[in-house]
Amino acid sequence: SAGKRAIWFNKQHPDTVYVDVRPEVEPDLVADSRELPLDMRGYALVVFDPPHVNFGANADLSKQYGHHTTAEIRDIVERTGKEAHRITKPDALMAFKWNDHDQKLERILELMAPWWEPLFGHTVKVTVGTKHPSATYWVMLRRRA
């Protein structure tokens, strides 16, 4: 998902196709990552930062990022993982960002296991002293054959 391209150093990188379902964030391609209108298998890298928290329909963050139920989040992860497999080269990599506020990383990686193998990763932020302690991870995955 493109979002506001917050993780990118060059937010207009010419070798990148930014995809988001929300036209207001001005992606290169307005599309649902679960059904990409791309017919090629040429991508070598996918960066996937899915929604990861069910904040509730009326929460401020839901107004900013959209409201997603836990079931929808799992569906986005699973079906996007499959779709990313379809459009990538055999040796492709996926940089995957996840926050385990609602669902543990291991459970989410299982959803993509048929298509993507986790190689390595690390915790980049731990939130403690809150109602729901959580950690944010970056994981590098490799496309399965």
- pLDDT tens, position by position, 69-117: 899 999 999 999 999 999 999 999 999 999 998 899 999 999 999 999 9
Q: What is the pLDDT of residue 138?
A: 96
Residue 102 and residue 82: Cα distance in Å, rounded? 22
Q: pLDDT tier at 127 (50, 70, 90 boundaries)?
A: confident
In this prediction, residue 5 carries a pLDDT of: 86
Of 93 and 15, which is predicted with more confidence? 93
- β-sheet with 116-127: strand ranges across: 43-48, 88-99, 134-143, 116-127
pLDDT digits (tens, 9 = 90+) for 25-67: 889 999 999 999 977 779 999 999 998 876 666 666 655 667 7
Rounded mean pLDDT of the chain? Answer: 88
Mean pLDDT, range 107-136, rounded to an integer: 90
User: What pLDDT was estimated at residue 115?
Assistant: 98
pLDDT > 90? residue 6:
no
Task: Compute the average pLDDT of residues 129-140.
Answer: 86
Q: Quick check: 48 and 97 in contact, CB under 8 A?
A: yes
Q: What single letter denotes the amino acid at residue 57? A: A
pLDDT the model gives residue 58:
66
Distance CA 137, CA 113 (A): 17
